[in-house]
A and B are shown apart, each in its own frame.
Chain A
Amino acid sequence: MKNRFMRRFIPAVAMLMALFPGFLAAQERETASVGEDRKLEVLASFAKGASTIKTISSDFLQERRTSMLKEPLLATGRFFFEKPERLRWEFTKPVPSGFIINAERTKRWRDHPKQSQSFDIEKEPALKAIAGQVFAWARADFTWIENNYQILIGSEDQPTITLTPRSPEERKYIRHMALSFSLDLASIQSVEILERSGDSTRIRFVNIVLNAPLPESLF
């Protein structure tokens, strides 16, 4: 039962992780790779689990640290994903805002979703990276992921997945992004993004629900 849960849960978390253009542990640390075999084992586990996931919904808490602000910027929101290419990322506090990517259609809003406007995802590298990764993880397209990111699987006593961008464009902004699990891999603890400028963002996911039907109106 636990294995079955893990197979479904870990890919879901990976997709959540992929929401961000860069991940970084709060402190950059030298995480020892545990070898290619373990990476293949974990990725295979993701692939198997990803095939069973149709939808994900979750709440999140975000803490952003930037050199522009004296204090961390705290925000809460909701995340929705539906295969193959539907994504909704929504902040509820302090400022309602968000964006939706539904295949080719894109829209975003400030204050209220009813005031949404379409946007050119090509001009939003951060959102493009998010969508690209979420959808790649959903397809379990590790070739695409490996082509774009260097993947580092942490050891069993330090359960993390770290992605380092390969593209020079993305590397201008993102140093790396990391996903941390509890020691027993039963739950995700945090997603952290470290930017090249030194700014960082930490997101904690709570109330994750898999494969629940999502209303059409969300997208």
Chain B
Amino acid sequence: MASYARFFVSLFDLFSRHRILLYSLTCAILLMSVLTLKKITLHEDIRPMLPDRDPEVTADFFLLQKTPFLQRVLINLELGPEAHLSDALLMADRITPALTPPYFSRAISGPQTFNSGELYSWVMTSLPSLASIEDIKNMERFTTSPGVKKRLFDIYQRLQSPEGWAMKPLFQQDPLGFSAIGLEKLHSLNFLKRMKVENNHFISADGRNVLIIAETAIPMTDSKGARELVNYTQDLLNKNLSKGIKASFLSGHAYTLANAETIQRDLLVILTCASIAILLLLLLFMRNWRAFFVYLVPTSVVCVATAATLWTYGTISAVTVAFGSVLMGISDDYPIFTYFSLRHRGPVSGEGISAVSIPVLFSGVTTMATFSVLFFSGLPGQRQIAYFSIVGIIASLAFSLLVLPHLLRGMKKGEDPLPIEARKARRPDRFLVIAIWGIIIALSIWQSTRISFNGDMRAVSRVPASIRNTEQFLKETWGNFRETGVAVSEGASIEEALEQNERFYEHIKSKIAPGQIVSISPILPSAKTQRTNREQWSVFWTDERTDRLRNLIVREGDKMGFTPDAFAPFFNRLKEKGNVVTLDGLRKAGLGDIVDSFISHEGGAYRVLTLLPDSPEVEALLSVSNGGVAGTRFVSPRRFNRTISKFMTRSFVEFILMASLVMTAFLVLLFRNVKKVICALVPVATGLCFMFGVMGFAGIEFNVFNIVATILVIGLGADLGIFMVSRASEGVDRNTARAVVLSGLTSLVGLGALMLARHPSLHSIGITVFLGMCGAIPAAVLVVPALIHPPRNRPQSEQTE
């Protein structure tokens, strides 16, 4: 211990001789930090709070991002009571061409321009490749005598009307309606269940909405790009708004922007309020101009910790920066304690610093140790917060013990104008205190059983009412296309991926209700299947069968007045083997927009998507235990949230245990006395019980951010416990007592500032820690002394034992 004391005395003496060097070094560190902060770019997205060490979760998250529409901007034009559809169509036609780079790469308000003739022609030429053996067998019912008669009569009737005139080539190529087999397969691409195509535009089923779908290269996580994109889109809509039409749009960028703007506003409010409140508290309690030096420590610490995090990680999450107010509340404890301790001892000296360094360092190390358990977290955001906090605490300890004493030199002993004469107030009855504490603990434990976990990351995202309403409206108007499960079939080549996709489709098509599967498999089978289909087609359409059908059509047609060659193109087609269906062919047929949404090529792998209902039934069907389909991964937003929730629950228990163990170990090391250790744990236990109890009672759900908050409650509660046990059992002076109260208050202010946040993540940290500290502070101030002090009526000899 003597060498430890000599170390601080020596350091103080050294820097006393080289004070300029000390100040220069400190200023240099601060200057470097401030310069680093000039380049700061905040990341407001939720990704840092998603597990990055769990390959399953990472893969699910990656694949969910591939869902069609998730990366796209949807613009909805809603007709008012007086507006006509033509107005909305004209507006869509004005807006769509203006959705251009750099914000948009492409925009469509309807299917690619094609005429129905080309689509029919594509279907007919592709039919031999598309038609399965079941489809071919179904053709037989078209080729019976009654079936042929009916179809020919229908054609005869249609030929009289203008619409029938244009259909003559189709009648000649497909008199029996075989194209219906191919067209039926196109239904499998219908991902907007309530959409129809009219006037070559996407129209809602009720005919009151027009949809524009735009693609953008701006990543959803780019808040700056999101702001520009959202502003551009809003301006464009405002400029082109037609009377009686309401325009709205939805994209992940709107969420990003809403979150970014909220967090940025929150940062300003939180850091400003915390800074001002802490300064006022310091001035109020210290009533000395040197309070500014004390105040410089936490403010400098936030700069240093932010810069260090940037240097280490390259980027910094906005949540971490918001944690700055918490760091201020924690890191000002050490300069406060140093200040009051030195003032109590008179002129600043190495011995005085050495004396105060023990509780200060111990408190700091305990808090750091508690935070360090977050390094084991699977969430990168939590690891970053741990790093940020620990660097901040180290900086605070260094500033408090090495720099601050030199700034406080000249401070006289007894400079203590604070009239805390209230200390003479009667000490409350210890049994009453313990009884009330016991009741509160019991009630809290009872209510804490009702607490629930919410793993849905949307619960901690800021979603303004306007966006929520738009999302709900689009869901009701066009169908729930943003919350579907995605099955991803992967292959090293497109052919391999298509084959896998085909196996998967065959596996599920009979098990999931028709219309619920959105897949390209029926219109883009693998080359192997297409080859098989064509062979089966040739086997079926033998010369004999073709001649028989020709004779039937000619005979029945003759009766109605058709010429013998009226349907010659049809018979020529039957002889053909048919075209191979390719992606390019689909694009030429006007289906490129849709098909391309289902295929991606990234990192050397081809992925083909299938959209499925995100229901428990589908999940059960595709679960590994149920056989699943090897090579295809089913990703469901519902399951993803559940996985996160499970992960959180597991992490939560682990972290509470780890933090508690670490903290207890440090307390044992410090006090080496069971009673004192237990008493020091009282604020922690009370804070946690009270926090969980109130959350359970009020129905506040536990989320991913509350884990950090819980660690904080443990760390801060332990600090209070250490200070109060020291004070109560070792007769610490009244300056120390005041330091304890002031540091508790500044911590409360720093943490409470987070409650002013509008962003759910920050607000939830604030409210949780506030609740915890509301339990921990009274427990430290009232319960710890009541437990540790012997009864007043006991003999003095017993009290001193």
Contact = CB atoms under 8 A, between A and B. Distances in A.
Chain B associates with chain A: yes
Interface of A: 19-21, 62, 64, 66-71, 73, 75, 89, 91, 94-95, 97-99, 103-104, 108, 110, 120-127, 130, 169, 173, 195, 197, 199, 201
Contacts of B797: none
B551 interface: no
A141 B459 CA distance: 58
B264 interface: no
Contacts of B200: 122
A75 B165 CA distance: 14
B165 A68 contact: no
Given A103-B84, A110-B157, A122-B199, A68 B162 contact: no
B410 to A, nearest CB: 87
A20 B163 CA distance: 10
B202 interface: no
Contacts of B162: 19-21, 89, 126-127, 130
A66 B561 contact: no
A104 B196 CA distance: 15
B165 A126 contact: yes
Interface in B200-245: 200
Interface stretch (B166-174, B286-294, B343-351, B717-725): B166-174
B569 to A, nearest CB: 11
A68 B159 contact: yes
A191 B279 CA distance: 93
A125 B168 contact: no
B198 to A, nearest CB: 5
A103 B169 CA distance: 30
A7 to B, nearest CB: 28
B163 A124 contact: yes
Contacts of A108: 163
B199 A70 contact: no
B161 A197 contact: no
B15 interface: no
Interface in B138-178: 156-157, 159-163, 165-166, 168-169, 171-172
Q: Name A's interface SS.
A: mixed
A95 B160 contact: yes
A62 B159 CA distance: 12
Nearest to B196: A120
B168 A68 contact: yes
Contacts of A20: 162
B166 A125 contact: yes
B28 interface: no
A70 B115 contact: no
Interface residues of B, number: 28
A192 to B, nearest CB: 13
Contacts of A122: 198-200
B561 A70 contact: yes
B85 A69 contact: no
B165 A199 contact: yes
A130 B166 CA distance: 12
Nearest to B558: A70
B593 to A, nearest CB: 17
B163 A127 contact: yes
A121 B200 CA distance: 9
Interface in B25-69: none
Given A67-B563, A73-B160, A121-B199, A104 B168 contact: no
B105 interface: no
A19 B161 CA distance: 12
Contact of A70 (B163, B171, B198, B563): B563
Contacts of B159: 64, 66, 68-69, 73
Interface in B778-801: none
B30 to A, nearest CB: 68
17 contacts: A21-B166, A67-B566, A68-B168, A69-B156, A73-B160, A73-B561, A91-B161, A95-B160, A97-B157, A97-B161, A99-B163, A103-B84, A104-B85, A120-B196, A122-B200, A125-B115, A195-B165
A167 to B, nearest CB: 12
Given A91-B161, A95-B157, A108-B163, A66 B84 contact: no
A91 B116 contact: no
Nearest to A93: B160
B198 A68 contact: no
Contacts of B197: 120
Contacts of A75: 160
Interface in B167-193: 168-169, 171-172
Contacts of A97: 157, 160-161
Nearest to A90: B161
B562 interface: yes
Given A126-B162, A126-B165, A127-B162, A69 B561 contact: yes
Contacts of A169: 115
B358 to A, nearest CB: 84
B3 interface: no
B86 interface: yes
A169 B199 CA distance: 16
B88 to A, nearest CB: 10
Top 6 A-B residue pairs of the complex, sorted by shortest distance between their CB atoms: A68-B566, A126-B166, A95-B157, A126-B162, A120-B198, A122-B199
Contact of A120 (B84, B86, B199): B199
A120 B116 CA distance: 11
Interface string B79-94: 0000011100000000
A89 B199 CA distance: 20
A120 B198 CA distance: 5
A66 B168 contact: yes
Contacts of A62: 160
B301 to A, nearest CB: 66
A64 B164 CA distance: 11
B563 A68 contact: yes
Contacts of A67: 563, 565-566
Contacts of B565: 67
Contacts of B168: 66, 68, 197, 199
A20 B565 CA distance: 27
Given A91-B160, A108-B163, A69 B563 contact: yes
A103 B89 CA distance: 14
B157 A201 contact: no
B562 A104 contact: no
A62 B563 CA distance: 20
B159 to A, nearest CB: 6
Contacts of A95: 157, 160
Contact of B562 (A70, A125, A127, A173): A70
B386 to A, nearest CB: 60
A54 B159 CA distance: 31
A63 B771 CA distance: 89
A89 B565 CA distance: 31
